[in-house]
Amino acid sequence: MIVSPTAMAGLALIALGMVCTPGPNMVYLLSRSILQGRLAGAISLAGVLVGILCYILCTALGLTALMLAVPLAYEAVKWAGALYLLWMAWNAVRPGAGSALEPRSDLKVDRPAKLFAMGFLTALLNPKIAVFYVSLLPQFIDPERGHVLLQGLVLGGTQAAISFGVNLMIVLAAGSIAAWFAARPSWLRAQRWIMGSLLAGFAVRLAFDKRPV
């Protein structure tokens, strides 16, 4: 085997914990699936997955390490991601905004291309993903086994597969979640502010995050 079973199991466990932790990707996929349906959620998930695969490929080729070594490149991606999260937070709490978990009939239906692009940006405009791959994947690569690039791709692909599986379950279960909230209007209002607060918190934490040395 290119990658040892121990290394594969260790990375899979960490990947599972990471994807189960609420973050921008989960919030976006949940809200889009509820507002526009499972197909829209699946298309958005495809965009998220491509964004993750871009980071995996760049990490395997050493390009993300270069980004982290160049302050201006890291800062540009970091601030773009923070502003994007703040925009999502404002849309959650702005006057007249509804909850992402509230069924709506007046929702503008986004085209598949836009759904895909927004999912892609949600994953791509987050340098924390790059930091995760740069710091984590090398710990599970054994140079003595050879094929370092292939090991990186296999390990990264494992993480991507786990992320896809968990997020797909979120997309498929979004309707049931919406039905539960629909019967509890007070929870809808609370959810809107909780979501906005979480997104704003992600943005602030990202904005003040220091470049790894």
pLDDT tens-digit series, residues 36-82: 888 999 999 999 999 989 888 887 777 556 655 667 766 776 777 67
Between 172 and 147, where is the model more confident? 172
CA 45 to chain centre: 9
User: What is the Cα–Cα distance from 32 to 44, expressed in whole angstroms?
Assistant: 8
Cα separation, 181 vs 59, whole angstroms: 40
Pairwise CA distance, residues 55 & 67, whole Å: 11
Instruction: Report the pLDDT value the prediction gives residue 198, as an integer from 0 to 100.
Output: 74
Residue identified by tokens 């390009």 is 63
CB atoms closer than 10 angstroms to residue 185:
11
Separation CA 150–CA 194 (nearest Å): 41
Buried b (16+ CB within 10 A) or exposed e, 127-141: bebbbbbbebbeebb
Output the pLDDT for position 44. 93
Q: Report pLDDT digits (tens) over 160-191.
A: 999 899 889 988 988 777 677 667 767 767 76
Largest CA distance in the chain: 59
Q: How far is CA 191 from the centre of its chain?
A: 19
